[in-house]
Structure 1
Amino acid sequence: MAVIDGDNLTKGGELHVSEVCRVLSRIADTVTACPVTFAMQRRLAVRYMTAYSDLGWGVRFASMAADAADVLLHEAAEEYVAHSITDLVVASGDHMFSDLAGSARLHVISYQRSLSRRLELAASTVTFLDDLLPAAT
């Protein structure tokens, strides 16, 4: 099972659609044959629709409230765990997901600079996505 934070992976809308397509393609290769919940703020959803719409993931649109996508994804993750899921892929760097480590092994996918220390320490595995983006200048 997987939860994917679209807001985090677009860096809040800073990345070009083609960059997000590469990132989501890498994640899709990781979560094949696995139920996925993807969440993103409505304001970003239209801009990035071509990056995620054909992936077959469950999509949830979040309000503009702070951490709204994270809250939706955390609720989805809790549902997965409630159904005896022992491994959970978390594509986000947000510390909010670290508490799930008490119920499932967390396999985190994130950008190195976006990964909270708390989530990194809670994770069973961490995969970085930085190689998919152009080097910062």
Structure 2
Amino acid sequence: MTDIFNKIETSFRASLRGEESTDKLIYVWGIISYVLAFLLNKLIKTVHVYFFGTTISAVLICYFAWHIYALKKCSPKKPKLTKEEKQKLREEKRKEFGKKLMRKLLLQESFTKWDPIFISIVIDAFCIAQFIDYIIR
């Protein structure tokens, strides 16, 4: 049992340093917390004790704020480009736009390719807003 807590602690510390993999942050720290938040949300709605709901909400707000911080810190950094490199990248995108549009229209390529880090941050922000609502009420 202490082995599991040691793994959790090392993963937590690595994420604070920005050394944890984003997949682990999204799929282990994220999905488990979303399920837990869903269950605690149901518990808060059924038990109408203000102190209980406020305490759980405050803890979950802190957790999701940490999760956003860790995702931003561990996300891969985009390289700094010079003006010439940016211009060259724009020209390449213009050349590929027609081909890419045709592949999307013929349903050979997905219309939207979402960034999983961005989606996780949006879900975390929604959870924070939801639990802030319990504290404000």
The two structures share one fold, judged by TM-score above 0.5: no
The higher relative CO (CA closer than 8 Å, separation ≥ 6) is in 2
**TM-score normalised by structure 1 residue count:** 0.29
Q: Which structure has the larger Rg?
A: 2
